[in-house]
Copies of this chain bind each other. A is one copy, B any other.
Amino acid sequence: MADNRLVAVETHDIRFPTSLHLDGSDAMSPDPDYSAAYVVVRTDAGDGHEGHGFAFTIGRGNDIQTNAIASLAPYLVGRPLETLLGDLGAVYREFVYDSQLRWLGPEKGVMHMAISAVVNALWDLKSKRAGLPLWQLLAAMSPEEIVALVDFRYLTDALTPAEALAILRERVGGRAERADELLERGYPAYTTTPGWLGYDDDKLRRLCVEAVADGYHQIKLKVGADVTDDIRRMGIARDACGADVRIAIDANQRWDVDVAIDWVRELAPFDPWWVEEPTSPDDVVGHARIAAAIAPVAVATGEHVQNRVVFKQLLQLNAISFLQLDATRVGGVNENIAILLLAAKFGVPVCPHAGGVGLCELVQHLVMFDYVAVSGSMDNRTIEYVDHLHEHFVEPVQIRQGRYLAPTAPGFGATMHAKTISEYSYPDGPVWRSAANGVRSGRRDD
């Protein structure tokens, strides 16, 4: 390994025309085209292993995100694998603290997602070379090694390295048993499939009934466009699911603080399990006010939370009862370990954001690592599941009776089929060369 180097960084702008069927439609994103700004890193090791990673976007702008990832190639190409893969904590910090690139964030938005894609691709490569799924690779590291992966800057008023070490050490006992349990029984899932805003009432009812029959104990409904519609749809869902199934609602940032409080109170009689993204993901103070006002309905957020500093504040202010980390928005595996440790410190369950393109494939590794080595708990924890686009991945997630089966293939699960990469490349792939789809993406409809 000492002699081998990273020799190429290849990027692809991959888009799926999901807007054709209103899959993924919500109060702020009426017609997303689920997309991936995709990166492959290659080495000269001759072992057949590549690192794959991506940032998830929803269509227009995926070119900007892909360009940003491509711009990081000079930081990687030609470097020895030993330093790149041997200390991913250092590599992560090198990107985040590049003093000039940092101005573009810091640690947020396009630049941070680009770093995320590259860091995750390196983790994918490292796991494949180790012959382990990422969750097992991480869960085999010592508490000291795990702490070294984390950047504690801006966290120490809430979590010190010593506290993180103590959390991890407490969980060393029982790691093997919990890993076995995951391999045997998997991890609980909930499904968002029934609840997209673009679906009519009959489809909503039918999909709710199917979800319960499939073994799910929780579903999620998109809300926030029209309160009368939401009351009716929530009624249908509660009726179709019965009293024992948890129904989460998701406003996708649609509301101002006071509107959120009023709207959720209207839906409270239907016993929502949590309300997700009630307002701006940047508004930690607003989330705290909403949480206090709508209790016992819980607040959840995270898919647009830009970094660990914002999660820290949400936890400090008791603003969230469920933390929904995202695999590709913050700075990759390293920052998500920081977030898992913060959640463990504050005793808040992590229920990752998934769906999109390949997010289910990624986040399962993060929470399975959490179960084995960080929180040690599945109580009130569940991974979002949406049954879109899994067929494009070489190792798609496996769901049985409402649970994610533990992945056993080496890597982080990000690898798409070569055929998908060529067919869905935008704008030149065959799927997009047809006029009907070409008109829909990359340009505004107005």
Contact = CB atoms under 8 A, between A and B. Distances in A.
Interface stretch (A123-131, A150-158, A182-190, A242-250): A150-158
Contact of A61 (B71, B113, B442): B71
Interface string A3-42: 0000000000000000000000000111111000000000
A64 B111 contact: yes
Given A256-B156, A285-B284, A99 B30 contact: yes
Interface residues of A, number: 70
Nearest to A257: B157
Contact of A111 (B106, B110, B153, B285): B110
B109 A59 contact: no
Interface stretch (A218-226, A233-241, A309-317, A377-385): A309-317
Nearest to A25: B99
A282 interface: yes
A177 to B, nearest CB: 37
Nearest to A310: B282
Most buried by B among A103, A253, A444: A103
Contacts of A103: 29, 32, 57-59, 61
A191 interface: no
- The main secondary structure of chain A at its interface with chain B is loop
A420 interface: no
A109 to B, nearest CB: 2
A337 to B, nearest CB: 19
Interface in A64-82: 64-65, 67-68, 71, 74-75
A279 interface: yes
A105 interface: yes
A62 to B, nearest CB: 8
Contacts of A316: 285
Given A29-B100, A32-B99, A106 B253 contact: yes
Contacts of A312: 283, 285
A365 to B, nearest CB: 23
28 contacts: A29-B100, A57-B103, A57-B104, A60-B100, A61-B104, A61-B111, A63-B71, A64-B67, A65-B104, A67-B68, A74-B442, A74-B443, A74-B444, A94-B446, A104-B110, A105-B109, A106-B281, A106-B304, A109-B109, A154-B279, A154-B286, A156-B256, A156-B257, A157-B256, A157-B257, A282-B309, A283-B309, A283-B313
Given A61-B101, A94-B446, 19 more contacts: A29-B100, A29-B102, A32-B100, A58-B99, A61-B100, A61-B104, A61-B111, A64-B110, A67-B67, A74-B444, A104-B113, A109-B112, A109-B306, A154-B286, A155-B256, A156-B259, A157-B258, A283-B309, A283-B312
